Amino acid sequence: MRSFRHALIAAATAAVVAAAAGCSGGGDDSADAGTLVLSTFPFGVEEFTEAVIDPFTKATGIEVEVETGSNADRLSQLQVAGDKPGADVMLISDYYAALGQQDRLFQPVPAEKVPNLADVAEFAKEAAYQGPAYSYQLNGIVYSTEAMNADEAATWDVFAGAHKGKVALPDISVTAGQLMISGVAASYGSGPYDVDAAYRKLAEWKPGVLQFYSSSTEVTNLLTQGEIVAADTLNGFATNLIADGEKVAWVPPATGRYMATNRAMIPATAANTENAYKFIDYLLSAEAQTSSAELVGDLPVNNGANVPQTLTVVVGGIVTDPVAAGYATLDPARLVPTRKDWVDRFAREVTGA
């Protein structure tokens, strides 16, 4: 993804707004105090601008410059930039945030600079990351309601042959892929990092898998065209399908429930760190989280945010407390060092089996 540039500030109180309007740049005396560079995902930009960026700029006067790109592309750009200032805030998935931390590309977000951290779920501020989560995604199974019921879809056995040739699984290159592998590992092995057990099981299922998909477009097309009746996916893949009246539903797996988070990170070279703190604080506010849930479809981490029916119809009560519903995040310290080996083995032992 490329980069998202825009200026966002915490407007939780009149005092914060007043301070934001006159704040100075953080990391560099030459930085423009009235701007913020935001790097983000390339999809949902218009919706995110309406939900978060425009209200933030209106409240604070800070102009946000937006750059977009893939996780990998934006992290690579940060690596090659060296000491040159670029993005002040980077919205990025948790695995890539961990990769950047390993290379010291990010700096910690101090809790005292982001008051709204007090109102977010505990998993959103886990110590493994230098920046908080602002949204999350649940792994589960999207399925045709004409082919099966929720109980059947929730078992991993749905991929074991009962619907041979009519199911799809994610490639390891996409977020759902890692979550699926850990879910299978926890269900059939010793835990979420038991890759040997996971790959043995996935290799068994492979002959009945129509496709290992690498994009949301692939899996939604397969479903709507009737080529598959079930697929392991993130909850967001099902939202538009269900809203459009497709005869599909989404269900969490009975065992091996894992979720991914999207993090708000501040690059080590950020020129406007004070503005970055304010942006992240606003992004985590109940107001911004509610708007983002409604317009972007993000599952909110702020405990006071209102969740629209378009999301609850997909995930139900899980949105109230995903951890209580059995969902867990994965430890980046276990994933980052093993990633290359897992990717290579997936190609040899699963998709190439």
Nearest to 242 by CA among 167, 170, 157, 140: 140
pLDDT of residue 316: 94
pLDDT of residue 13: 32
pLDDT of residue 161: 81
pLDDT of residue 21: 36
Q: Are 242 and 143 in contact (CB under 8 A)?
A: no
Residue 318 has pLDDT above 60, yes or no: yes
Nearest to 232 by CA among 327, 153, 162: 153
Give the CA dihedral 153, 154, 156, 159, nearest 10 degrees: 10
Residue 258 has pLDDT above 50, yes or no: yes
In angstroms, the Cα distances linking 110 to 31, 106, 266, 273, 315 are: 20, 13, 11, 11, 32
Task: Look up the CATH superfamily of 138-259+325-351.
Answer: Periplasmic binding protein-like II (3.40.190.10)
Residue 199 has pLDDT above 80, yes or no: yes
Mean pLDDT of 206-232: 94
Half-sphere exposure of 157 (CA within 13 A, CB side): 7
pLDDT in tens, 68-101: 998 989 999 999 998 898 999 999 999 999 999 9
3-state SS track over 103-128: CCCEECCCHHHCHHHHHECHHHHCCC
pLDDT of residue 353: 61
Provide the CA 209 distance to its chain's centre, in angstroms. 25
Backbone angles phi, psi at 66, to 5 degrees: -110, 130
pLDDT of residue 222: 95
pLDDT of residue 16: 34
pLDDT in tens, 139-191: 999 999 999 999 999 999 999 988 999 999 999 989 999 999 999 999 999 99
Task: Look up the CATH superfamily of 14-135+261-319.
Answer: Periplasmic binding protein-like II (3.40.190.10)
Residue 210's Cβ-count burial label (10 Å; 0-12, 13-18, 19+) is middle
Residue 26 has pLDDT above 50, yes or no: no
Which residues make up the CATH 3.40.190.10 domain(s) of the chain?
Answer: 14-135+261-319, 138-259+325-351
The rounded mean pLDDT for the chain is 90
Query: Quick one: which H or E segment has residue 275?
Result: helix 273-283
Q: Are 119 and 222 in contact (CB under 8 A)?
A: no
Please name the residue that has the structure tokens 């004070």. Answer: 274
Mean pLDDT of 270-276: 96
Band the pLDDT of 33: cuts 50, 70, 90: low
Residue 2's Cβ-count burial label (10 Å; 0-12, 13-18, 19+) is middle
Mean pLDDT of 242-246: 93
Residue 132's Cβ-count burial label (10 Å; 0-12, 13-18, 19+) is buried
Band the pLDDT of 3: cuts 50, 70, 90: very low
Tokens of 153: 């879809």
Whole-model pTM: value is: 0.86
pLDDT of residue 31: 45
- pLDDT above 90 as % of the chain: 84
